[in-house]
A and B are shown apart, each in its own frame.
Chain A
Amino acid sequence: MDGEAPRAAVSWENGTLAPIDRLRLERADSPTPGLVEGTEPGAGQKSAMFVHAQSFEDLTSEAEEEARREADLDKSEGECSEELKLLVGEKTIEEQRNDNFSIEDRSKEEDVSSEAWRSHRKHVFVLSEAGKPIYTRYGTEEALSSTMGVMMALVSFVEAEKNIIRSIHADGCKVVFLTKSPLVLVGVSRTCQSDKELMRELQYIYYQIVSLLTLTQLNHIFQHKQNYDLRRLLAGSEYLTDNLLHRLDRDPGLLLSAVTCLPLASSARDVVSTSLQAAKAKNLVFSILVAGDRLVTLVRKKDQFLHHIDLHLVFNLVGSSSSFREGEGWTPICLPKFNTAGFFHAHISYLEPASELCLILVSTDREDFFNMSDCKQRFLERLNKRSAYQALKEALKCPSYSVAQVGIPELRHFLYKSKSSGLYTSPEFPFVYQSDEEQERLMGLYQDLHSRLHHPNRPLRSFYRCTATENLLAWVTSGFELYLCFSPLGTKALAVSAVTKLLKWIRKEEDRLFILSPLTY
């Protein structure tokens, strides 16, 4: 893709920008931004709002553990395991090709065999361990039952050898497998994303399904009836998975394992937060106010943390369904990172019918509807009384900011994530990235940078890449992750010098761009 473009990885020590021993001191508006987790711009002052984790690693760690377990098994199997793996690899690729041929044969009767269907950039399939189709991103599941049967055969074949199939690379295509009993997820991608990134996306899809049904229910169903058709239970919710896949291609938050906030003066945000904090109830666990895909504030029960994946699932639910606009919604929802076994009950309603502001109140009691409805009324009442509602509505008019405000020449766009708060900030897309295709292309570039920094074997601290259309710099420290996109006129020196300037700017704006003092009830 960019093979001819010069590419080099620069690396420098943290110490060149700030001596580490000084960073543990007070947060200060010193010209040297903190680089250690907890002192970086945007870091929460009181306590973390989300589950504290090295988010990306957290998301993939389960797969890693499985791999390690698998590796252990390999050792016990003896030396021949290497040969075995090679053999298995060859066989599976062959089978994959055979399958493609069989698809072509059927091309006249079914459109899943059409060229258009096959040339989609990314396919996602979900099947049960009995090989029954559960979900496909494109086409209908019925038409794909034999394809999914082959996928399951691959998984079982490798499993029978006490091994785990993770991916097949063939013909410009990556096929990634994620086995999460009782489900099997398969991604087929023509993008240049790494296996790890694709695995992460499959994990999201897995959690989406669990959030609708709970893992307990899933296990229960398949224990009783191995060849149960899960589509019955997922009917009418396929659009949630479709939308989540769309978000995975477009939303930097899912890539960074972070959420972004509505820029709002800290005084106004404090009023909103305290109003929400005051509207509490016995079984209320989380109160979340969002404006579109942006978090306005989040109040949680003491000692209860919300995981960013769960929050993204909530965002996906609210953003995908128009049904909450008519009246008040009340729905069971499983937050799989919190507890895969049970349902919470969420009261979801917009503050006004045409407003972007949506309030989500998460309770543990399924009969709590009227209590939650009452909490909402109390919140609104307080908000109006303290005239913060007007400030909030004003802030909604400019939900983002232009990169020009930062004042760095040739800088087009950036992503900055504060690791300790799990929040990120990013300016609006400049003119050159107005079209959907261009935005997805830019996201693709960020994904590439991200996967290089987080490479499972060779993680990098920083990475500079120059292509014909952009200059890109990515930098990760223990405190933050930063991805910068410059015009092709930018240089490496310019990019490196921009980092400090940008961090200073973010420090200056942090109380508007981030939630610095998350509240509990």
Chain B
Amino acid sequence: MEDNLPAVPGGAQRHSVTLTRPVQTLRVKMVLLGSSGVGKSSLALRFSKNELRSTSPTVGCAYLTSVVHLSDVTLRFEIWDTAGQEKYHSVTPLYYRGAHAALLVYDISKRETFIRAQLWLKELEKQYIPGSTVIWLVGNKCDLDQDRQVSVQDGLGLANERGLFFTETSALSGDQVNELLLAIAHRVYECIGVQQGGLSEWQEMPLVNVHHRHTFNPFASCCKVGP
């Protein structure tokens, strides 16, 4: 597979645990959208714990976190892994509203999931504020190359036409998964993080202070005044 990822500046690393470093930690709201069964939950689990498990269909939405260290900033991804099933579509706007990164996931071995991803794109664009969301088209299950129904060109073509980023991944083998998260981290930081009020700072609350934590509203994080 071609490497479609943007160049990664040196020194960037990804850890699954927070290190105590005197760098700023910024919150990034990321949402995974796509048809049922394309591997959104598996990708999310890879992002969060770098593990793989077969899961039953997601019910509603699952919330996971993942921390990515860039050279001069730490990003705490708050990942909303949505259910692909149609009955939950009415609540999905809750999760993509104000997202800094949106992943449109499809299964390269199922054409209809690619078409569905384009419908999700249309819906996202309705709510889209230019420059506020990094939209990434993700062709998952690239380990199923022999059953491929969506070519790399199709994916790239759509991405270029609509101004999206594009990557093919395999949550099964882990191929390109870390690279994808890192690339998203860079893009989000470059595009949104530098803006005034782009990303809010994450305060690690020790458990003792946990009572006072319920003051922020995650669903309006894009509108927060910057750090």
Contacts and interface: CB of A to CB of B under 8 A. Distances in A.
Contact of B56 (A235, A322, A348): A322
Nearest to B62: A327
A236 B210 contact: no
B202 interface: no
Given A236-B85, A327-B64, 9 more contacts: A235-B36, A322-B55, A326-B49, A327-B62, A329-B61, A330-B62, A330-B63, A332-B60, A367-B217
Interface stretch (A39-47, A183-191, A293-301, A371-379): A371-379
Contact of B41 (A237, A326, A333, A378): A326
A330 B84 CA distance: 14
Interface in B86-116: 86-88, 91, 94
Interface string A221-251: 0000000000011111101000000000000
Contacts of B126: none
Nearest to B91: A332
A236 B83 contact: yes
B59 interface: yes
Given A327-B63, A330-B63, A236 B94 contact: no
A331 B81 contact: no
B7 interface: no
A327 B66 CA distance: 11
16 contacts: A235-B87, A322-B54, A323-B56, A323-B58, A324-B59, A326-B48, A326-B64, A328-B63, A329-B61, A330-B61, A332-B60, A366-B94, A370-B214, A370-B217, A374-B213, A377-B213
A389 interface: no
Nearest to A333: B60
A150 B147 CA distance: 40
Contacts of B217: 367, 370
Contacts of B55: 322-323, 325-326
Nearest to A381: B207
A239 B84 CA distance: 15
A127 B172 CA distance: 37
B81 to A, nearest CB: 7
Contacts of A326: 41, 44-45, 48-49, 53, 55, 62, 64
A372 to B, nearest CB: 10
A320 interface: yes
B61 A236 contact: no
Contacts of B88: 331-332
A366 B218 CA distance: 12
B216 A320 contact: no
Interface of B: 36-37, 41, 44-45, 48-49, 53-65, 79, 81, 83-88, 91, 94, 207, 210-211, 213-214, 216-219
Dominant secondary structure at the A interface: helix
Given A235-B36, A326-B41, A367-B219, A320 B56 contact: yes
A323 B218 contact: no
Contact of B87 (A212, A330, A366): A212
Interface string A439-463: 0000000000000000000000000
A317 interface: yes
A332 B216 CA distance: 22
Contacts of B37: 236
Q: Which 8 pairs of residues, A with B, have the shortest CB-CB distance? A: A331-B60, A327-B64, A236-B85, A236-B57, A233-B87, A328-B63, A327-B62, A323-B58
B59 A377 contact: no
B48 A371 contact: no
B86 A232 contact: yes
Nearest to B64: A327
Interface centre among B49, B57, B60, B91 (most CB of A within 10 A): B60
A497 interface: no
Given A323-B57, A327-B48, A369 B218 contact: yes
A251 B86 CA distance: 31
Nearest to B85: A236
A230 B218 CA distance: 33
Given A323-B59, A367-B219, A234 B87 contact: yes
Contacts of A320: 56
Contacts of A330: 60-63
B85 A377 contact: no
A233 B83 CA distance: 12
Interface in A326-368: 326-333, 346, 348, 366-367
Contact of B36 (A236, A373, A374, A378): A236
B216 A370 contact: yes
A14 interface: no
Interface centre among A233, A327, A330, A381 (most CB of B within 10 A): A327
A367 B217 CA distance: 9
A321 B87 contact: no
B177 to A, nearest CB: 15
Nearest to A372: B214
Contacts of B48: 326-327
Given A236-B85, A323-B41, A328 B62 contact: yes
Contacts of A236: 36-37, 57, 83-85
Given A236-B83, A237-B85, A329 B60 contact: yes
A321 B59 contact: yes
B91 A378 contact: no
B214 A371 contact: yes
A367 B214 CA distance: 12
A366 B91 contact: yes
B86 A233 contact: yes
Interface centre among B37, B55, B56, B210 (most CB of A within 10 A): B56
A329 B62 contact: yes
A152 interface: no
B219 A322 contact: no
Contacts of B44: 326-327
A213 interface: yes
B210 A377 contact: yes
Contact of A323 (B62, B207, B211): B62
